Amino acid sequence: MLLALALAIVALMSAGAPEEVEHRAGQVDPDTFGNPDFCTPEDPVADFGLSQLPAVSEPPSDGDLPFGPKTVSLVLSQGPILPIGQSIGFWLHSQNYVGHTPLNWILRNRIQPVDSAGQAGGVVARGRWRVRRINAANEVKLFLRPPPIPGFYRYDIEIADFDGKLLASYGKHLRVERRFWKARLGLDDNEFHPGEQVLSRVENLGTTTVLFGAEFSIQRHKGGRWAGIRHPEGGLWLAWLRGMDSGLAGSCSSLRLPRDFPAGDYRIVKEVGPPPWPNGKRSYYLTAPFEVVD
């Protein structure tokens, strides 16, 4: 049963047919399967209108602060889509495991509503923290919660020294939304030939976290109905469970069609669910149809 996936007892993938072995030998990056635009996209699959707002100076994506010690980094904890009631904040990390790194920083953050043109209104949440020193055992977190009202907001962080000199200022647009479930199974194409690779990914179009594992099944449409078929690659799965936040696409799954795979109409079926799935939570079955042609 598919639910056994997350409880996980499973084994490594079998060696499989010769074409599968050849595919694995030439596979450079197991996360992209040769298609990084589909498997590791830079843009979200749903941004709830955030891309229409003017750009702001966001924190460095790698967390490195050009003015700070190399052992210290700044990471945002959530966003940019926030379900009602969820907080957003920064996490000041330290990789100093043997002593303390002096900082003498004042960190301030705030949240303001913005209109569709990006114009900010009054401050609705504010925080402040003085950091004299930091190490890996005493990292700094500061979270704020926007009002429980759907709409656009702006989250800002300022870092100054103890003398008041501004060292950096970063911002990020947010969208506060009601909690709802909407997930989709996407394919990198809808038509394939025998011997080709079919890539699929789970896409979170809602605001509730989607959990999924490696396992998926295949069905064929024949005689007016869908019926399961034997998995071409053996049906053994790596045992992992991953979560995906709102608006994002999950890691890819690959299906290598055998060279003698018959033409016809097929679909991939994948079981997913909201936290704490699969323990006591409802499962959702996502499907993605495709055609195999000679």
Say if residue 65's pLDDT is above 80.
yes
Residue 42 lies in a domain: no
Structurally, the chain folds into a number of domains equal to 2
Mean pLDDT over 159-173 rounds to 96
Domain boundary among 177, 210, 234: 177
pTM over 0.85: no
Residue 62 lies in a domain: yes
Same domain? 205 vs 167: no
Same domain? 61 vs 122: yes
Length of the chain: 294
Same domain? 168 vs 87: yes
Alpha carbons 199 and 195: distance in angstroms, whole number: 13
CB distance 154 to 56 below 8 Å = yes
Confidence of residue 29 (pLDDT cuts 50, 70, 90): low
* Residue 286 domain boundaries: 4-35+188-292
CATH number at residue 135: 2.60.40.2550
Which of 256, 244, 250 has its CA nearest to residue 40? 250
Instruction: State residue 4 phi and psi, 5-degree precision.
Output: -65, -20
Residue 40 lies in a domain: no
CB distance 266 to 289 below 8 Å = yes
Same domain? 225 vs 288: yes
Residue 143 lies in a domain: yes
Residue 63 lies in a domain: yes
pLDDT in tens, 96-144: 999 999 999 999 999 999 999 999 999 999 999 999 999 999 889 999 9
pLDDT, position 278: 87
DSSP state string for 48-82: TTGGGSPP--PPPTT-B-TTS-TTEEEEE-S-SEE
3-class DSSP state of 39: helix
Same domain? 65 vs 165: yes
Cα-trace Rg, the chain: 23
